[in-house]
């Protein structure tokens, strides 16, 4: 048998080993990168203290959410646009998490002149909100705006009467959910609707995973 015929299998074997090694390294690097991404959520800013009124007519401050992860949005009860859909989506988050979860849900109104505590409570009851976990907040316009736009990045703009399409067409507002950690830091922003937004299979699973990650964090 010639030397070349003896060396060929060995050369192939060395090539296979080298290829396997390179593939293993590539997989480990990819896994490490993915794990690093999972452990790090963005940091968008600190939530300032606030004083608002909940659906029971009780004063609610940032201290009431200390050591809780929370998800927030902004709606108004007379809304005939995205608000009912958003509230149903928030309800689905409530249903997906256990009753003893550390996570709270916070819904602000962009129409505080109309949305009294009693009206917010009826609205929450319509969606089977668990008020031990889901808080509906109202206050003066400036108080709500300070928390919504100032800290949570939830914007709202009144629609001029001449531009309103109907009696419920009162505000243009953001349709996002935002995620806050136990230390009152804004950590996530999630679209609830719009073109190419897949709430059921992409957005909600990602949001739930991020909630659980923050619940596990110190």
Please spell the DSSP secondary structure of 52-80, one letter per residue.
EEETTS-EEEGGGGTT-EEEEEEE-TT--
Mean pLDDT, residues 116-135 taken together? 98
Better-predicted residue by pLDDT, 15 or 131: 131
Question: Does 169 have pLDDT greater than 90?
Answer: no
- Distance of alpha carbon 28 from alpha carbon 30, whole angstroms: 5
- What pTM value is reported for the model? 0.80
* Model pLDDT, residue 28: 36
Q: Tell me the pLDDT band of 22, cut-offs 50, 70 and 90.
A: very low
Tell me the domain boundaries of the chain.
Answer: 1-40, 45-216
- Distance of alpha carbon 20 from alpha carbon 16, whole angstroms: 6
Query: Does the structural domain 45-216 have CATH classification 3.40.30.10?
Result: yes
- Distance of alpha carbon 75 from alpha carbon 52, whole angstroms: 16
Better-predicted residue by pLDDT, 19 or 181: 181
Average pLDDT, the chain: 85
């Amino acid at each position: 048998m010639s030397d070349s015929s003896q060396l060929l299998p060995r050369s192939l074997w060395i090539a296979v080993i080298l290829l396997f090694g390179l593939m293993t390294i590539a997989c480990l690097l990819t896994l490490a990168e993915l794990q690093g991404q999972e452990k790090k959520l963005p940091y968008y800013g600190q939530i300032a203290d606030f004083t608002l009124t909940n659906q029971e007519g009780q004063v609610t401050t940032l201290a009431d959410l200390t050591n809780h992860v929370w998800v927030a949005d902004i709606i108004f009860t007379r809304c005939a646009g995205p608000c009912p859909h958003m509230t149903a989506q928030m309800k689905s988050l409530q249903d997906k998490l256990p009753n003893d979860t550390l996570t709270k849900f916070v819904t602000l109104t962009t129409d505080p002149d109309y949305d009294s505590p009693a009206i917010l409570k009826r609205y929450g009851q319509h969606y089977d909100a668990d008020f031990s976990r889901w808080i509906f907040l109202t206050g003066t316009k400036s108080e709500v705006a300070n928390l919504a736009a100032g800290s949570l990045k939830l914007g709202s703009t009144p629609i001029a009467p001449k531009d309103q399409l109907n009696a419920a067409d009162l505000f243009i507002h953001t349709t996002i959910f935002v995620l806050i950690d136990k230390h009152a830091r804004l950590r996530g922003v999630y679209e609830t609707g719009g073109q190419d937004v897949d709430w059921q299979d992409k957005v909600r699973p990602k949001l739930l995973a991020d909630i659980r990650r923050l619940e596990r964090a110190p």
